[in-house]
A and B are shown apart, each in its own frame.
Chain A
Amino acid sequence: SQTIHQWPATLVQPVGSPLSLECTVEGTSNPNLYWYRQAAGRGLQLLFYSVGIGQISSEVPQNLSASRPQDRQFILSSKKLLLSDSGFYLCAWSVSNNQPQHFGDGTRLSIL
């Protein structure tokens, strides 16, 4: 069966520090991968998605970047965090857009 792992579960970082959140999927090949953020009082916003190794699409201008160094690994990064980067980050995978997305447990990121 397929599983998705996302870590860490919570993270407290100072403004200006770097960020690296990791997501890995097991039990499937060549999945579509997604990074979402839920800011306080808002819905899930798609940040990045990837249909293959090295292929990253960015949805909104922001202080973040994503990379897919391996087929089932998706990394969310920042060189310098801003206060506005606080939120709940979710990684997800799917076979296609006509199939459901499967989410990780999320990372609660607090910027101080």
Chain B
Amino acid sequence: ILNVEQSPQSLHVQEGDSTNFTCSFPSSNFYALHWYRWETAKSPEALFVMTLNGDEKKKGRISATLNTKEGYSYLYIKGSQPEDSATYLCAPIGNTDKLIFGTGTRLQVFP
């Protein structure tokens, strides 16, 4: 069973600040990791699917890196905006072939 940890649990930043979160998981038996953004009153929305060690993905001001050997992924937001406020979920997939979601990092960006 994969134990997925996300940190910090919550984060408050000012508009324009850059920020990053961490997703940690057991490095063995792994083959992909998903990142999702979950805004209040909406459904989770896929940001990235990452499958390779050293993989880097970017979508606008948001980017993510993956280190499968040490078992972590970072999500970066450059120049945070109030509309970035959401819970960010990571979900690695191990040998069970199912997503195991972390509890998320709740980001609030103040104008």
Please determine whether chains A and B interact with each other in the same assembly. yes
Contact of B101 among A44, A98, A104, A106 (CB under 8 A): A44
Q: Quick check: is A90 within 8 A (CB to CB) of the other chain?
A: yes
Is A90 in contact with B44, judged by CB distance below 8 angstroms? yes
- Expressed in whole angstroms, the Cα–Cα distance for A100 and B90 within the complex equals 12
Q: Give the shortest distance, in Å, between B50 (CB) and chain A (any CB).
A: 10
Q: Which residue of A lies closest to B47 (CB)?
A: A100
The prevalent SS among residues of B at the interface is loop
Q: Give the shortest distance, in Å, between A88 (CB) and chain B (any CB).
A: 10
Contact of B32 among A42, A98, A104 (CB under 8 A): A98
Q: Give the shortest distance, in Å, between B13 (CB) and chain A (any CB).
A: 22
Contact of B103 among A42, A90, A97, A103 (CB under 8 A): A42
Given A43-B104, A98-B32, A104 and B43 contact (CB-CB distance below 8 Å) = yes
Residues of B within 8 A of A45 (CB): 101
Q: Give the shortest distance, in Å, between B36 (CB) and chain A (any CB).
A: 8
Q: Which residue of B lies closest to A45 (CB)?
A: B101
Interface size class of A (residues with CB under 8 A): 10 to 19
Given A102-B46, A104-B43, A106-B43, A97 and B97 contact (CB-CB distance below 8 Å) = yes
Interface size class of B (residues with CB under 8 A): 20 to 34
Is A101 in contact with B46, judged by CB distance below 8 angstroms? yes
Is B101 in contact with A100, judged by CB distance below 8 angstroms? no
Residues of A within 8 A of B104 (CB): 43
Given A43-B103, A46-B98, A100 and B43 contact (CB-CB distance below 8 Å) = no
- Expressed in whole angstroms, the Cα–Cα distance for A21 and B106 within the complex equals 28
Q: Quick check: is B62 within 8 A (CB to CB) of the other chain?
A: no
Find residues 78-111 in chain B having any chain A CB closer than 8 Å to their own CB. 89, 91, 93, 97-104
Residues of B within 8 A of A99 (CB): 49
Q: Which residue of A lies closest to B90 (CB)?
A: A43
List 9 A-B residue pairs with CB atoms under 8 Å apart, sorted by A's residue number. Answer: A43-B4, A44-B44, A90-B43, A97-B93, A98-B51, A100-B46, A101-B44, A102-B46, A104-B43
Listed in ascending order, the chain A residues whose CB lies under 8 Å from chain B are 36, 42-46, 49, 59, 90, 97-106
Listed in ascending order, the chain B residues whose CB lies under 8 Å from chain A are 4, 32, 34, 36, 42-46, 49, 51, 89, 91, 93, 97-104
